Amino acid sequence: MAGSILIIDDDPVQRRLVEAVVTRLGHSALTAENGRIGLDRLQAARPGEIEAVVLDLAMPEMTGLEVLEAMGRAGISTPVIVQTGQGTIDTAVSAMRLGAFDFVVKPVAPERLKAALEGALKFGALAGKAKARRAARGAEGQIGLGDLGASPAMARTAALARKAAATDMPILIDGETGVGKEIVARAIRAGGPRAGKPFVTVNCGAIPENLVESILFGHEKGAFTGATEKHLGKFLEADGGTLFLDEVGELPPEAQVKLLRAIQEGEVDPVGARHTIKVDVRLISATNRDLSKRMAEGLFREDLYYRLNVLAIPVPPLRERASEIAALAGLFLDQARSAAPISVAGLSKDVVNLLSAYDWPGNIRQLQNVIFRAAVLAEGERLEVHDFAQIASEIGTIRPVETRRADMPSPVAEKSPQDLETTDEMTLPLLDSRGEMRSLAELERQTIQAAIDHYDGRLSEVARRLGIGRSTLYRKLKEMGIDADEGRLGRLAS
């Protein structure tokens, strides 16, 4: 049975409107009146139960952006379509940076929501298949130390990983969200004596607090309400192999005490059990938090920290590993093609240059999502710059970029708005003639005007290339006082 679409919006009228559209399109709908309830439903959902989320950004108590941040920390990869009544570029950019699949403006037309949902569902299915393939690949021990990247920034990480693989000591991998900490952990396991043994992963930030002990250490049948059968727990599942505790800094204090005992004594105490059980586990932990700061705040035990951090391995962010981006992008496109019937055969040189110029705040995970999204929505045989409109808009170009030489002027050039009117190079300068940053409203207006010119006034094509609905484009034209035909003819005659 297909999953449901979760609608998170504090406005009951908007919830009903979106719910009506979703059900009319043949999907079942779930609703949540605020971000906190929506996040709880996502965390409690079974795999595949919720296929996509329509998320309002402007909500009290917990905003849509905060929901996206929490989903990222919890490892929830359900595709999200964000909607807002503001329609500002900076809000859209923030949402896309945090992993949103698409962005719509209230009131969204049913056709626009339908297109966004179809794309999100395709993306979710593709990501799920790719995740399953990665898990199978990892289970076969095929992720090795040679898969850690060849950039200079990764040299120290790779060297430490090789040393770690030769030992059985606890490892703490530190790095921003999405940098590939699990890849490093799997490489360490593959290079050591436990290579053929179980590799069990636990996202500590995704476990409901009342279930942490049961999931980690197991429970006996009848140990608590709802415990209808015995559960081994992750430590026993990993017995003889490796246990990877991702986001270990999110563990509640009670679980930290039991984890410390498990490490010190080599045994676990299942909930409701009469006796402890001996286990033999290689422990690798990971965090994107500053654990020393959490210790100072009383949120993480100092004795546990030193038990976990026998050998620390930092993983640098993707922005420091630009030379890896082309290979990673190609790898993710291959994953997409192997998981779904996608006609895209490769990436253009301009796309590689564009992706290499971006700073990737969401790191490797964001790069993978961006490639998957482009592969799902692309219409050509190769991915081109226009398939990455959001990335291009952040960098400040609306045309294919070229690799910058040291003698080339900065892309943040001091050009006046009049310069844009007379130049053939469709590049939006970020600074005005006084050297001050230009407003987002002005950049948005000139982007739309340039697109109308470039596509000869074909508004359907303009809307598609800019990644917005036609109704949204018409509304913006009206708000900005732009007449598409007059603007195009006037610019051609100048």
Residue 329, classed as helix, strand or coil, is: helix
Confidence of residue 152 (pLDDT cuts 50, 70, 90): confident
CA 75 vs CA 49, 70, 367: distances in Å: 16, 9, 15
Q: Lowest mean pLDDT: which of 169-183, 308-322, 431-445?
A: 431-445
Residue 136 banded pLDDT, cuts 50, 70, 90: low
Residue 272: domain span: 141-316
- Tell me how far apart the alpha carbons of residues 494 and 488 are, in angstroms, rounded to a whole number: 10
DSSP letter for each residue of 154-176: GHHHHHHHHHHHTS-S-EEEE--
Is the pLDDT at 88 greater than 60? The verdict is no
Sign of CA dihedral 109, 388, 378, 117: negative
Higher-confidence residue: 328 or 487? 328
Residues 19 and 86 in one domain: yes
Whether residues 113 and 151 share a domain: the answer is no
Residue 109 belongs to some domain of the structure: yes
Task: Say if residue 210's pLDDT is above 90.
Answer: no
Give the model's pLDDT for residue 1: 45
**pLDDT band for position 139 (50/70/90)?**
very low
Which amino acid is located at 295 in the chain?
M
**Looking at the predicted structure, is the pLDDT value of residue 119 above 60?**
yes
In single-letter form, the type of residue at position 105 comes to V
Residue 266 has pLDDT above 80, yes or no: yes
- Assess whether pLDDT exceeds 60 at residue 89: no
pLDDT of residue 240: 94
CATH code at 100? 3.40.50.2300
The two tokens of residue 196 are 């053929």
Give the residue carrying structure tokens 């920290």.
Answer: 305
Give the strand pairing for 277-278 and 267-268. Answer: antiparallel
Binned at pLDDT 50, 70 and 90, residue 226 comes out as: confident
* pLDDT computed for residue 235 by the predictor: 93
The pLDDT of 105-110, averaged and rounded, is 83
Residues 106 and 154 in one domain: no
In a domain, 163, yes or no: yes
Rounded Cα gap, residues 271 and 262, in angstroms:
14
Which of residues 316, 336, 354 is at a domain's end? 316
306: amino acid identity, one letter: Y
Residue 241 located in a structural domain: yes
Higher pLDDT, 45 or 481: 45
Helix residue spans in 3-140 (DSSP H): 12-24, 35-44, 64-74, 89-97, 110-139
Last residue of one domain, picked from the residues 316, 339, 372: 316
Q: Of 126-130, 328-332, 488-492, which gets the smallest average pLDDT?
A: 488-492
Closest Cα to residue 178, out of 288, 71, 266? 288
Q: Considering just the CA atoms, what is the radius of gyration of the chain in Å?
A: 25
CATH number at residue 450: 1.10.10.60
Position 137 scores a pLDDT of: 53
CA distances from 363 to 173, 209, 245, 328 (A): 16, 28, 20, 11
pLDDT score for 199 = 94
Instruction: Return the pLDDT at 51.
Output: 92
Exposure string for 413-450, b = 16+ CB within 10 A, e = fewer: eebeeeebeeeeeebbbbeeeeeeebeeeebbbbbbbb
Single residue among 276, 300, 316 that ends a domain in this structure = 316
For residues 97 and 28, membership in a common domain is answered with yes
In this structure, the answer to whether residues 119 and 172 fall within a common structural domain is: no
Residue 153 belongs to a domain with what CATH number?
A: 3.40.50.300
78 with 212, same domain: the answer is no
d(CA 42, CA 256): 25
- Answer yes or no: do 285 and 166 share one domain: yes
pLDDT band at 398 (very low <50, low <70, confident <90, very high): very low
Count of structural domains within the chain: 3
Give the pLDDT confidence score for residue 489 in this predicted structure. 40
For residue 358, tell me if it sits in a domain: no
According to the model, what pLDDT value does residue 286 have? 96
Same domain, 178 and 121: no
- 452 neighbors 487 (Cβ within 8 angstroms): yes
Assess whether 67 and 158 both reside in one domain.
no
Within 10 angstroms of residue 455's Cβ, the number of other Cβ atoms is 17
Q: Give the neighbor-by-neighbor strand order of the sheet with 311-314.
A: 199-203, 242-246, 282-287, 171-174, 311-314
Element (H, E) at 312: strand 311-314
Rounded (5°) CA angle 110-392-375? 60
Question: In percent, how much of the chain has pLDDT > 90?
Answer: 33
CA distance 127 to 144: 22
* Tokens at 489, concatenated: 């003819």
Burial 343-370 (b: 16+ CB within 10 A, else e): ebeebeebbbbbbbbbebbbbbbbbbbb
The predicted pLDDT at position 418 comes to: 44
Give me the mean pLDDT over the 335-357 stretch. 86
Q: Three-state SS for 8?
A: strand
Residue 404: what pLDDT? 36
Q: Is 364 domain-assigned?
A: no
- Same domain for 84 and 178? no
CA angle in degrees (0–180, nearest 5) for 366-369-375: 140
Mean per-residue pLDDT, 422-428:
51
Q: Does residue 193 sit in the same domain as residue 109?
A: no
Which is more confident, 490 or 22? 22
Using the predicted structure, report yes or no on whether residue 420 has a pLDDT greater than 50: no
207-216, 276-285, 351-360: segment of lowest average pLDDT = 207-216
Query: Does 172 or 123 have the greater pLDDT score?
Result: 172
Tell me what pLDDT residue 83 has.
87
Instruction: Classify residue 348: in a domain, yes or no.
Output: no
In a domain, 477, yes or no: yes
Read off the pLDDT of residues 287-318 as tens digits, 9 standing for 90 and up. 998 999 999 999 999 999 999 999 999 999 99
The residues near 412 (Cβ < 8 Å, ≥ 6 apart) are: 396, 429, 430, 431
Domain for residue 47, yes or no? yes
Q: Are residues 153 and 80 in the same domain?
A: no
Q: Would you state the pLDDT for residue 400?
A: 35
Q: What is the rounded average pLDDT for all residues in the chain?
A: 82
pLDDT at 164 over 60: yes
